[in-house]
Amino acid sequence: MAKPGRPKKVPNFKELLNQYIPAAEIFTEDENKMYEGLVGVYLNDFEEDQLTANDMDDIMSIAMNRVLEIRLLKGSKENNIEQIASSAAIEKLRKQTDKLKESLASRRRDRIDPRKYSGLSIVDLAVAFDDDRKYKLMEKSMKLQEEEQEVKRSKLLVGNRDDEDAMDFKND
């Protein structure tokens, strides 16, 4: 009897993309490299065992939008009329990409277990920062004291008693 839920062994999403998405047929060779690189970068932001099909779809769409945006920018590089025409399409792609990123971020937030981070507070962070700062200042102080002792032991400190205009004051 099969257990409900996600399988324990998560498939490699890059392999699935290469197998089922015809990116090589959609993009030129350079664009395909860019697409695969972007998908790889975006996948590195997530733990693969927590990715869902919706996450993968959003990641693919974000990468695809970025490649198409670059294609439009390259195509209108020398032609001002094409720049005006492609600017609307680029704006739509960017808005869609922003929505996809928000969707990914909200699903990621929903997966975070609030009990996992409940013991950490701003006070804990302040104390840790204070301790770290105190340790660094103590190290600096010890180093300066060692340097001072070295200078005192060296022959560099002879004072001015041998100067011609030095006067000898005696304590009464």
Can you give the residue ranges of every domain in the chain? Answer: 13-114, 121-158
3-state secondary structure 10-68: CCCHHHHHHHHCCHHHHCCHHHHHHHHHHHHHHHHCCCHHHCCHHHHHHHHHHHHHHHH
Longest dimension (CA), the chain: 103
List of residues 6+ apart from 107 with CB closer than 8 A: 52, 54, 55
Residue 77, by phi and psi: left (phi above 0), alpha (psi -120 to 50) or beta? alpha
Residue 75, pLDDT score: 84
**Which amino acid, 49?**
D
Residue 34, pLDDT score: 92
Average confidence (pLDDT) per 10 residues, the chain, 172 residues: 58 72 85 89 80 85 92 85 85 93 85 66 77 88 90 72 65 50
Residue 98, pLDDT score: 93
Angle at alpha carbon of residue 53, lines to 94 and 117, rounded to 5°? 85
- Name the pTM for this structure: 0.57
Residue 151, pLDDT score: 80
Angle at alpha carbon of residue 62, lines to 37 and 85, rounded to 5°? 110
Residue 139, pLDDT score: 93
Quote the CA–CA distance of 113 and 105 in Å, as a whole number: 15
Residue 144, pLDDT score: 93
Q: Are 93 and 69 in contact (CB under 8 A)?
A: yes
Quote the CA–CA distance of 67 and 21 in Å, as a whole number: 15
Element (H, E) at 138: helix 122-153
